[in-house]
Structure 1
Amino acid sequence: MEHLIELDKKHFLHPSTSIQQQQEQGSKLLVESGEGIYLKDNQGKSYIDAMSSLWNVHIGHGRTELAEAAAEQMKKLAFSSAFSTFTHEPGIRLAEKIAKLSPGNLNTVFFTSGGSESNDTAIKLIRHYWKIQGQPERRKIVALKRGYHGVAAASTSATGIPEFWEMAGHMMTDFIHANTSYQSTTEAAIQSLREKFEAEGPETIAAFMAEPIQGAGGVLIPPKDYFQEVRKLCDEYGIPFIADEVITGFGRTGTMFGLENWGVVPDMMTFAKGVTSGYMPLGGVVISEPIHEVLKQKSEGTLFHGFTYSGHPTATAVGLKNIELIEKEGLVENAKKIGAKMLEGFNRIKEKLEIVGEVRAMGLLGAIELVKDPAANENFSKELNAGPKVIEELHKRGVICRGVTYENSNIICFAPPLIMTEAQLDDVLEKVYESILSVQQQLMRTADRGGDKE
């Protein structure tokens, strides 16, 4: 397979990858197949996919039901545009299904190809919503630091992680970032957000956008009453609330959508990833009935927004089958049950290992933070590479995870497929313990030699 690695280096420019590292070392993993929670490489080695690849393979790998649904639809109608009032049955059926699953009065779906497009669409729709009501000055999007909303133009600008802004220059205008509120008290968080609304002027704000749990930011879970207070604050100022459910949707947190953990209904909700378990690219925006009514009554002419694959027939057919399996197999309930055990396991690891600080999980979405001084909850410096070292140790033991090192954090993230069993979870937890223990011992040896200069 060496020739494939060389072809990969020459012809395949990878996303979110160190270009220099790929050229010097080649790709780390050449995946050949997947089954259940496992991936297998070209050498025959099996790995536990503890990240569901990119937070999205909810029903696991190798599900022939989705392949059959795609093949059946392709034989009948592989693709047809949804522009200019053209439509088709799988798109209609999936829109209806998502509307029924969505909380409150979220009832109308605009389809996209993925999460970045979904968040760009939500931003454009909410600005259009204000413009047709004679308030074009309401353009500002208030989001949170450490939030991640994608890498298209507007979604990159809404993202609150500076590394994503630096690649191609300045962000788009009219994007404001409030301090991340997910690791403070609700009272302080809401006061900070209120001050941001006041400073910017509510009459200039189009919407507030946030993830129920900040995923790529490090699986940051808000205080339990945070979103109830956010909803009240947005209502007080007349500011629509856009919930980014791209990672948290379709059962990931132990409820169908993340905000349902707190009984909160947003004005718009974006989705992608788990809607097809990654078997086809698909995403969308669900809008509330009041917003849809304004669009119907006041929009004139063509809505000049849409993607070639908006409402793709094959993708929507796969989405329908995927949701059917999530419901039939009780995967939302399984995520809640196994997720609770995952958190218990994280806490056991924390009790045994000095460098483990805060641990957290909601459903099958969790994280372990590594700290230098557990009593002070002080993070390791980036120079020590604690997080990346744990990721590498896990890889050696056949577990694929993701690390976060923004703002000097060392966070190990977990988002395994929703089909995970207790036995499989126990296997992961054992390997996590072994990996962190190995890194802890390495760091202590380094400190003993005087290598830790902090």
Structure 2
Amino acid sequence: MKQLIDLDKKHFIHPTSSIKQQQEQGAKSIIKEGDGIYLKDFNGKTFIDAMSSLWNVNIGHGRKELAEAAKQQMETLAFSSAFSTFSHEPAIQLAEKIAAISPGNLNAVFFTSGGSESNDSAFKLVRHFWKLKGEPQRNKIIALKKGYHGVASASTSATGIPEFWEMADLTVPGFIHAESPYEQGTEKSIRSIREKIESEGRENIAAFIAEPVQGAGGVLIPPDDYFKEVRQLCDEYGILFIADEVITGFGRTGKMFGLEHCGVVPDMMTFAKGVTSGYIPFGGVVVSDPIHNVLKEKSTGTLFHGFTYSGHPTAAAVALKNIEIIEQEGLVANSQAMGDELLKGFKQMKQQLDIVGDVRTTGLLGAMELVEDPETNKRFSADLKVAPEVIEALHERGVICRAVTYEGTDIICFAPPLIINKTQIQTLLEKLHDAVLAVQKQLGDRVSQ
């Protein structure tokens, strides 16, 4: 174990991690194996994976069906390029399947290796679309504050969390951020988007992008009417609407795709994560028939955009088996039912614990806010981050979870695998109650001192 920790420090630069903490304290846990909703580390400790690792292990860990699907495809055709109109059966079948389960007229798919690539691809495709339509000046993208769309150059620029811009002082021109509805409400957010369109010039706006639920922003769920208003606004100004379903897709919210809760169909939809339950990197962009028709009818020459692994046959085979499992095991419905159980437990804790503020779920995507005063929603002082303390207390109790502390918030996020059952939900809730109570007591002790 010590050898692994030392090698980790010496050779492995971790994504979205504290390099200083890694060097001083070593890896938080070195995970050895996974089974269902559980992970086990090299010390033999078992954890409930209450985040599906990175919101993505939808069907749970250790599913041999996906390993077998990968094995069979690798033995037949592990990889073959899809450039220059070459094709292969797994990608064709997967494109057909995704078209079949996608809302409305979203029927054609461009494949990528993950969510950041998917959103970057969507931005390039919408700009290409407008060039083909004879409106090349339409190249600006409106996104929302607190939205998260990835860490490639353009997707970082679309992300509405400044910490991601500041890391390398890198943003791409042409991205504008409007107020989100989660604290401002539908009316103020729609007004903000409209003001951005008018100030930039409607003739210059290519698209609007948003997550059905802002995940990394803190599991921020919009008002019920929000995306209907967004759809109407985009139609009014002739702007394309991109739905970022990277986190919310494939059953996470209790529907196959998050925007289905709103009865709204976007012009483009990006996906990744849950499409393979994280067993192999994969993603894509689904485009509507009108967009695809323009690409087919007006394109000349080569579409100069593509990734080596676009449509990777092994990844496509794994995705097909993953979607089959989601459907056959009724995991979309289970996500809704278990999400209701999770919310019930959250609400009980809100009544029992002094520092629990707003609680919310949509399917198995949930959040608990920690506040100094739940009655007034007064937050803790800026120099006191309570959610990370709860995350540490959960870790001690065998739960892996995630904190969000942007702009003074203290939010604990939850996204357990869609296979979780009622007994496991209850165990998770008991551990959460104990962790929050322990931190609450520590805060009280500090104040009394």
Q: TM-score, normalised by structure 1?
A: 0.98
Residues 21-420 of structure 1 aligned to structure 2 (within 5 Å): 21-420=21-420
Q: Distance in 2 between matches of 1:44 and 1:269?
A: 41
Moved more, 53-62 or 169-178: 169-178
CA contact (8 A) 1:183 1:222 kept: no
Q: Distance in 2 between matches of 1:308 and 1:95?
A: 17
Q: Distance in 2 between matches of 1:270 and 1:401?
A: 25
Amino acid at match of 2:11: H
Amino acid at match of 2:85: T
Q: Please state how far the C-alpha of 1:424 moved relative to its aligned partner.
A: 0.1
Secondary structure at the counterpart of residue 141 of structure 1: strand
Moved more, 309-318 or 293-302: 293-302
Secondary structure at the counterpart of residue 177 of structure 1: strand
Amino acid at match of 1:287: V
CA contact (8 A) 1:33 1:40 kept: yes
Amino acid at match of 1:136: P
Q: Distance in 2 between matches of 1:184 and 1:340?
A: 26
Secondary structure at the counterpart of residue 183 of structure 1: helix
Q: Distance in 2 between matches of 1:185 and 1:169?
A: 31
Q: Could you list the per-position Cα deviations for residues 198-241 of structure 1 after superposition, in whole angstroms to 9, with x for gaps in the alignment?
A: 12211110100000000000000000110011101110011110
CA contact (8 A) 2:179 2:188 kept: no
CA contact (8 A) 2:190 2:230 kept: yes
Moved more, 388-397 or 188-197: 188-197
CA contact (8 A) 1:183 1:221 kept: no
CA contact (8 A) 2:212 2:244 kept: yes
Q: Could you list the per-position Cα deviations for residues 345-385 of structure 1 after superposition, in whole angstroms to 9, with x for gaps in the alignment?
A: 11001011111110010000000000012121121134222
Amino acid at match of 1:102: S
Q: Could you list the per-position Cα deviations for residues 407-444 of structure 1 after superposition, in whole angstroms to 9, with x for gaps in the alignment?
A: 00000000000000000000000111111111111111
**Count of residue pairs the alignment pairs up:** 449
Q: Distance in 1 between matches of 2:368 and 2:101?
A: 31
Amino acid at match of 2:355: I
Secondary structure at the counterpart of residue 300 of structure 2: coil
Secondary structure at the counterpart of residue 129 of structure 1: helix
Q: Could you list the per-position Cα deviations for residues 110-148 of structure 1 after superposition, in whole angstroms to 9, with x for gaps in the alignment?
A: 000000000000000000001111211111100000000
Moved more, 263-272 or 177-186: 177-186
Q: Please state how far the C-alpha of 1:185 moved relative to its aligned partner.
A: 2.7
Q: Please state how far the C-alpha of 1:170 moved relative to its aligned partner.
A: 3.2
Q: Please state how far the C-alpha of 1:286 moved relative to its aligned partner.
A: 0.1
Structure 2 residue runs of 5 or longer lacking an equivalent are: none
Secondary structure at the counterpart of residue 417 of structure 1: coil
The reply to whether residue 7 of structure 1 matches residue 39 of structure 2 is no
Structure 1 residue runs of 5 or longer lacking an equivalent are: 450-454
Q: Please state how far the C-alpha of 1:192 moved relative to its aligned partner.
A: 2.0
Secondary structure at the counterpart of residue 206 of structure 1: strand
Secondary structure at the counterpart of residue 184 of structure 2: coil
Secondary structure at the counterpart of residue 384 of structure 1: coil
Secondary structure at the counterpart of residue 242 of structure 1: strand
Moved more, 413-422 or 129-138: 129-138
Secondary structure at the counterpart of residue 379 of structure 1: coil
Q: Could you list the per-position Cα deviations for residues 15-38 of structure 1 after superposition, in whole angstroms to 9, with x for gaps in the alignment?
A: 001111101111010000000000
CA contact (8 A) 1:271 1:285 kept: yes
Q: Distance in 1 between matches of 2:273 and 2:415?
A: 12
Secondary structure at the counterpart of residue 43 of structure 2: coil
Q: Please state how far the C-alpha of 1:181 moved relative to its aligned partner.
A: 1.4
CA contact (8 A) 2:39 2:47 kept: yes
CA contact (8 A) 2:178 2:189 kept: no
Amino acid at match of 1:143: A
| Runs of 4+ in structure 1 over 3 Å off | none
Moved more, 428-437 or 180-189: 180-189
Amino acid at match of 2:392: E
Q: TM-score, normalised by structure 2?
A: 0.99
Q: Please state how far the C-alpha of 1:105 moved relative to its aligned partner.
A: 0.3
CA contact (8 A) 1:340 1:363 kept: yes
